[in-house]
């Protein structure tokens, strides 16, 4: 086994939201996922020990707070969830750190809660599970909209990243209706999250807040593969885009990628070629992916230098999240 790893997309749940994701999974699958999400000190720690993972940055499972349409309830549950996360970290500070859950139904409240979580609870950033529903069950609100820019300013001032994580769509996309096997992590997760990230880039958000940092899982939700053509076609057919730079510049300067749920060596190498090894971090996506599969795959990767392997395994996370751990 190589140096102990740090994983940063590892999910848990809280009693208030324990069954919110049940409708997305077959009953037999959910029977396994539900207890795994709740058993932080048992199964998660055990899996980490078996897989050579020294530390996990834990976060609330998708869709979490983002699926609560009532703003005040979202604010209340986010605070309760973050207090619960903080309790887990306090019990095992050498094994766990936390990403805050945010009530983005109210951008000002989200900024206030993130500030509390970072300054009082010691959290390392936030995990945002895609768009938010606000006031109505069928609403879909993205964070490039003007009302969110002050929130992003607070994120930049706190010098912490936001992990933009997928969530299930409220309704099936028209292009996959009748094809349920393309829902979720198979395909629609990546399309949705990549589009959300591109909305942030094209809006000019990173021109206003050049030090803002966003993390994408699953080796970038296909964006490292697509970014050249995106810029190529934007330049070929100008459409009055607000952003001042090429999308590749934002991707390279404002984004990090993790290996969560994408244990493919060829895709890892391509992501490194596009992003550089300093912008890639190890993750598993527990419990929706097997931590053992993630670890066994990454431990066997020998097509990159050992220096880059250690960066991805832990030192990039130590630097980005200011973890205070020491590489071994």
Q: Which residues are catalytic?
A: 285
Q: What is the phi/psi pair of residue 59, to 5°? A: -150, 165
d(CA 107, CA 293): 37
Which of 169, 275, 289 shows the shortest CA–CA distance to 219?
A: 275
Q: Who contacts 58 (Cβ-Cβ below 8 Å, separation ≥6)?
A: 10, 11, 12, 40, 44, 85, 88, 89, 96, 97, 98, 99
287 three-state secondary structure: coil
Rounded Cα gap, residues 277 and 20, in angstroms: 36
Helix (H) or strand (E) holding 297: helix 291-300
Rounded CA separation 246/235 (Å): 9
Asked whether the beta carbons of 151 and 115 are under 8 A apart, the reply is: no
Taking the CA atoms of the chain, what radius of gyration do you get in angstroms? 19
């Amino acid at each position: 086994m190589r140096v102990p790893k740090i994983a940063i997309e590892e999910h848990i749940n809280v009693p208030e939201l324990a069954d919110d994701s049940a409708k997305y999974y077959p009953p037999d699958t959910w029977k396994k996922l539900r207890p795994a999400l709740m058993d932080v000190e048992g199964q998660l720690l055990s899996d980490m020990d078996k897989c050579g993972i020294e530390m996990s940055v834990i976060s609330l499972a998708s869709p979490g707070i983002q699926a609560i349409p009532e703003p005040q309830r979202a604010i209340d549950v986010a605070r309760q969830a973050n207090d619960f996360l903080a309790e887990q970290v306090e019990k095992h500070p050498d094994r766990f750190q936390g990403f805050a859950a945010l009530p983005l139904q109210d951008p000002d409240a989200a900024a206030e809660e993130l500030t509390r979580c970072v300054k009082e609870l010691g959290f390392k950033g936030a995990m945002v599970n895609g768009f938010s529903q606000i006031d109505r069950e069928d609403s879909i609100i993205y964070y490039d909209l003007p009302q969110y820019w002050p929130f992003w300013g607070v994120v930049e001032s706190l010098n912490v990243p936001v992990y933009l994580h997928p969530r299930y769509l409220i309704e099936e996309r028209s292009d996959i209706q009748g094809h349920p096997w393309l829902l979720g992590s198979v395909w629609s997760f990546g399309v949705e999250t990549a589009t959300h990230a591109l909305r942030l880039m094209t809006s000019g958000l990173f021109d206003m807040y050049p030090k803002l940092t966003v993390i994408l899982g699953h080796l970038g939700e296909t964006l490292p593969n697509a970014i050249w053509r995106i810029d190529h076609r934007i330049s070929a057919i100008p459409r009055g885009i607000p952003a001042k730079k090429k999308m590749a510049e934002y991707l390279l300067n404002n984004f990090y990628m993790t290996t969560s749920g994408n244990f493919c060596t060829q895709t890892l190498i391509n992501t490194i070629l596009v992003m550089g090894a300093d912008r890639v971090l190890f993750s598993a996506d527990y419990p929706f992916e097997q931590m053992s599969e993630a670890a066994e795959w990454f431990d066997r990767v020998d097509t990159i230098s050992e220096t880059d392997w250690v960066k991805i395994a832990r030192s990039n996370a130590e630097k980005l999240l200011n973890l205070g751990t020491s590489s071994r």
